[in-house]
A and B are shown apart, each in its own frame.
Chain A
Amino acid sequence: MLSLNNIEVVYDGVILVLKGVSVQVREGEITTILGANGAGKTTTLKAISGVLRSERGEVTKGSIEFGGKRIDGLRAFDVTRLGLVQVFEGRRVFEHLTTEENLIAGGHTQREPRRVRERIGMVYDYFPRLKERRDQQSGYLSGGEQQMLAIGRALMSDPKVVLLDEPSLGLAPMLVEEIFANVQKLVKEEKLTVLLVEQNATLALEIARHGYVMENGRIVLEGDAEKLRSNSDIKEFYLGLNEVGGRTSYRDVKHYRRRKRWLS
């Protein structure tokens, strides 16, 4: 469905951020990219959605294909038109617009006004809380509601693939579970394909089918979510479990924990 073939991303013409990243996203599945801060996860998503260019970044090598078509080099709004949309990290709702206006803006690519209404109805079905807040200025919604709105807004264009950037960021655990459950439901009922970037590895590996681990602009590990969950390195560094399977206390970790490098 979506494949990144050995892409390199350079910012400002000199800073090499992604050093040959290959990722395959299969249709109707949730694929996840895990990794610490600054590993290049968000950059990967931006490279796919095309917003990289507005930040003076560029895909210099490799190719990105979506549904058999090369999309690297396309402008962001053209990528969205093809059915691939990004949900940004930190929500980024249109603060001064109401909830419903946010959704209308999200449905910009829809030709017919009737379709916009239909999609709004669908989003409200998945996130009833948004319906209660439809006329409220979205800047004043709670963090969880804003995240729901950001996802709902992305759904307005009727996308085939959604790139989700850290939907759990700064939200209470209960809300995170609610949102993740909704994402799973969307994948199942709307035949959505999701590429999920997360720091919360436990949750991400629970709902994903396939996973990648990124570090320093490279993919260092990949495999079925099942397998990654049982991988001892992952367990230790992302899930906080030790070899025996019990929880490691922070006291034990501190002494020897340093950044594990799989490569280089």
Chain B
Amino acid sequence: MSSEDLGFLWALLVNGASIGLMYALIALGFVLVYKATDAINFAQGEFVMLASFAAALALGIGGMPVIAAVLLAVALMIGFSFGLERVVLRPLLGRPVVAVIMATIGLAAMLRGLPPITIGGETRALPLPVGDEPVRLGAASLPPIQVVGAIVAVLFFVAFTWFFKKSRMGVAMRAVADNQQVAMAMGINVERYFALAWAMAGIVSALGGVLWGSMLGVDVHVAVIGLKVFPVVILGGLDSIGGALVGGLIIGIVESLAAGYLDPYVGGGTKDFAPYLLMILVLMFRPYGIFGKRKIERV
């Protein structure tokens, strides 16, 4: 392998990893909700889209400073997911899982329809003050926004890992995930923790939305990232935070390698194909993912 080839590989790896961290961040929102409440949120991508719209409008039309726009997006998403849990999902508690799935799919479709109806379908810019100078890492160079995204994602993972391992609230939340009835009998207000999980998913989606929207430009296509969430969480395990991180990295890198090496031969499109192929393979051989909870059976 020549040094040029190695450089190309390195560039693909670095680029894939940084995009993968973004996938991981957005998948984290999905995992938090699933872990605590057992609800499968098919509208995760649309959450991200909604946040990116909020930030873009606040910046563009509202003329707010960036920080204020980001905070507005975060506050809006917390409120939105809070309200969603209260109004839509809590009444579905104890109903078949399909009810929740259908509700979130319906919600996703509605959310995607919202921007064209209200403010028009054109793409809006969401410029963040991070400069244009690419950041060089050896042979690879990354747009600064990707570097910021990667750093934010890592920070979030560190914070959430600490929260679930070390804080009493985090331990209580895992207890709720393990057994709701017993958790309730231990004096844990289960519904409050459901709401908390959704709020946390809201925060993650908001940050993801601002970053992703800034990379892509804000329109309904931002929601497509929701489709990447599924291979990531299936790979990592639906209820594992570390799994979301590793799954995100793997999917990001696989995608990037496929695009770099296979696309020239088949003319493109392997980028969207490879993650799902991987997902199906994982489902066949390791259905609970790399880090997912296995049912504990004692013999």
Q: Among A77, A97, A106, which residue has its beta carbon within 8 angstroms of that of B184?
A: A77
Flag if A96 contacts B293 (CB, 8 Å). yes
CA distance A157 to B180 in the complex (A): 17
Question: Cβ of B188 < 8 Å from any Cβ of A?
Answer: yes
Q: Which residues of B contact A94 (CB under 8 A)?
A: 174-175, 178-179, 182-183
Flag if A157 contacts B179 (CB, 8 Å). no
Q: Which residues of A contact B95 (CB under 8 A)?
A: none
A88-B185, A97-B178, A101-B174 given as contacts; is B168 within 8 A of A108 (CB)?
yes
Give A87's nearest chain B residue, CB to CB. B185
Q: Among B171, B184, B296, which residue has its beta carbon within 8 angstroms of that of A51?
A: B184
Give A103's nearest chain B residue, CB to CB. B171
- The proximity string for A residues 74-115 relative to B, scoring 1 for CB distances below 8 Å and 0 otherwise, is 011100110001101000101111000110111111000100
Flag if B182 contacts A54 (CB, 8 Å). no
Flag if B185 contacts A76 (CB, 8 Å). yes
Question: Cβ of A213 < 8 Å from any Cβ of B?
Answer: no
Q: Can you list 8 A-B pairs, Cβ within 8 angstroms, ordered by A?
A: A77-B186, A80-B185, A80-B186, A81-B187, A108-B168, A108-B175, A116-B168, A157-B187
CA distance A140 to B297 in the complex (A): 8
Which 8 pairs of residues, A with B, have the shortest CB-CB distance?
Answer: A139-B296, A80-B187, A105-B175, A109-B187, A94-B178, A76-B184, A77-B187, A104-B171
Question: Cβ of A42 < 8 Å from any Cβ of B?
Answer: no
Flag if A54 contacts B186 (CB, 8 Å). no
Give A105's nearest chain B residue, CB to CB. B175
Residues of B at under 8 Å CB distance from A? 168, 171-172, 174-175, 177-190, 293, 296, 298
Binding site secondary structure of chain B: helix
Q: Among A50, A75, A96, which residue has its beta carbon within 8 angstroms of that of B178?
A: A96
Q: Among B168, B184, B188, which residue has its beta carbon within 8 angstroms of that of A54?
A: B184
B59 nearest CB across to chain A (Å): 42
CA distance A67 to B296 in the complex (A): 40
Flag if A92 contacts B184 (CB, 8 Å). no
Q: Among A49, A95, A137, which residue has its beta carbon within 8 angstroms of that of B185?
A: A49
Flag if B296 contacts A101 (CB, 8 Å). no
Flag if B186 contacts A105 (CB, 8 Å). yes
Given contacts A80-B185, A88-B182, 16 further A-B contacts (CB under 8 A): A50-B185, A54-B181, A76-B185, A77-B187, A77-B189, A85-B185, A85-B186, A95-B178, A97-B175, A101-B174, A101-B175, A104-B168, A108-B172, A109-B186, A116-B168, A153-B186
A188 nearest CB across to chain B (Å): 25
Q: Which residues of B contact A80 (CB under 8 A)?
A: 185-187
- The proximity string for A residues 149-163 relative to B, scoring 1 for CB distances below 8 Å and 0 otherwise, is 000011011000000
Flag if B185 contacts A105 (CB, 8 Å). no
Flag if A51 contacts B185 (CB, 8 Å). yes
B192 nearest CB across to chain A (Å): 9
Flag if A77 contacts B178 (CB, 8 Å). no
Flag if B186 contacts A106 (CB, 8 Å). yes
Q: Which residues of B contact A116 (CB under 8 A)?
A: 168
CA distance A86 to B184 in the complex (A): 10
B126 nearest CB across to chain A (Å): 39
B182 nearest CB across to chain A (Å): 5
CA distance A76 to B189 in the complex (A): 9
CA distance A93 to B158 in the complex (A): 27
B168 nearest CB across to chain A (Å): 6
Q: Which residues of A contact B293 (CB under 8 A)?
A: 96
Q: Which residues of A contact B182 (CB under 8 A)?
A: 88, 92, 94
B123 nearest CB across to chain A (Å): 44
Q: Which residues of B contact A157 (CB under 8 A)?
A: 186-187
